[in-house]
Structure 1
């Protein structure tokens, strides 16, 4: 069983106690990543602003990131990302066994890196799958390479905890993918609140790593943040959790 997660725009340098044990986990598509960085470095300020849809301080920060990209320190991907989902991860509380589980089973999609092992060292960046910086879309740029890379796990079940922006790159005709969905009750209505879903995805990933969950049925026992498994909404390929 392999777990797939989204990256985040927010990033912050952090360390956790077993990081020194990770060894070197290579970036899987270094040449393609380096190519994208070279493209981004050659853009003007106006082009970066337009293509990445940013301005002000964020624009200044991103220009600095790509101007000095290879001078930045590296951190394991799962500790560098710092968005809403990632704030639900208790990295410092993970046991050595949980760390090994994460290293072996958790993967993160990325518009700059393609797909990463959670423990692969990366540098800060800013790029989304919706940012078209080439003639082709990021999906077309990465789809074939990601599929070939993931074929090594073809016989395993893929648990998709990522947002649709990233997870739609998974070829469901090739891989056995089970999607995880979170919904919130508002009176008699069931809603999909983005920020709440992001928190829930992070809390679920934390639960899976902490408990080293190895089968699909055990995922349904997740009940953090007020969520419970919904048999009514779930299907063979989708597991729903509802917060009442």
Structure 2
């Protein structure tokens, strides 16, 4: 069983750095394209401020020169989902579960363990970067499939742009999740609810050592409960009453 989670744009480098792992061939090919961009190019490419583009330019050059600081990926990323994941003071069993089951999907590093060494980077699959004439999704598809092809159960907490990197055959195996709030009988869903709930849900899985769909259906967390009436075989819905 594997749990797939996305990266995040927000990052926190206030952690001790760890030893880097040499880039795999697919990652190096992506980096080789990124190093061709000037800071001005990156400002347009990412649609970000000049200040942030300059920062990203230095991140890319540090990777190129092998001087980049690396951090455990789960602690480097600090978006809303990540801030709702239990990342510190894990028991030995929780640490083992995290290392065995949770994978992070990156447009630069591929599908890697949650604590894999990563350097700060902004790249995601919404970016129109070409690698040897291929889109990022096409470039990574084979390696992404290889990472989970032998898994009987794949729980996906990915957004759609990350899921579609995988082949149709593997996407059909994935169990996906929807998190909603119910107020005055009305159900609503929005990104803030979803991101916070994904993090809290993953925490509940880690704490409960959850490995099967049957176990998932029994999870209650942060006010959310499983709703069988709204769920489908491969899409499980959790609702929080407010």
TM-score (ref. length: structure 2): 0.89
Q: 2:230 corresponds to which residue? A: 233
2:57 to 63, 69, 72: 63
Q: Does 1:10 align with 2:6?
A: no
Q: 1:162 corresponds to which residue? A: 158
Q: 2:121 corresponds to which residue? A: 125
CA contact (8 A) 1:108 1:116 kept: yes
Q: Counterparts of 2:105 and 2:136 in 1: how far apart (Å)?
A: 12
Q: Does 1:197 align with 2:188?
A: no
Q: Give the count of matched residue pairs.
A: 236
**CA pair 60-160 structure 1, distance change in 2 beyond 3 A:** same
Q: 2:104 corresponds to which residue? A: 108
CA contact (8 A) 1:14 1:75 kept: no
CA drift at 1:149:
2.9
CA contact (8 A) 1:5 1:107 kept: yes
1:224 to 217, 221, 224: 221
Structure 1: state its 5+ residue gaps: none
SS at 1:13 equivalent: coil
Q: Does 1:38 align with 2:32?
A: yes
Q: 1:181 corresponds to which residue? A: 178
CA drift at 1:67:
1.9
CA contact (8 A) 1:107 1:117 kept: yes
Q: Counterparts of 2:209 and 2:21 in 1: how far apart (Å)?
A: 24
135-144 vs 113-122, greater mean Cα deviation:
135-144
- Root mean square deviation of aligned Cα: 2.3
Q: 1:136 corresponds to which residue? A: 134
Q: Counterparts of 1:58 and 1:189 in 2: how far apart (Å)?
A: 40
Which aligned runs of 4 or more in structure 1 are off by greater than 4 angstroms? 24-27
Q: 1:98 corresponds to which residue? A: 94
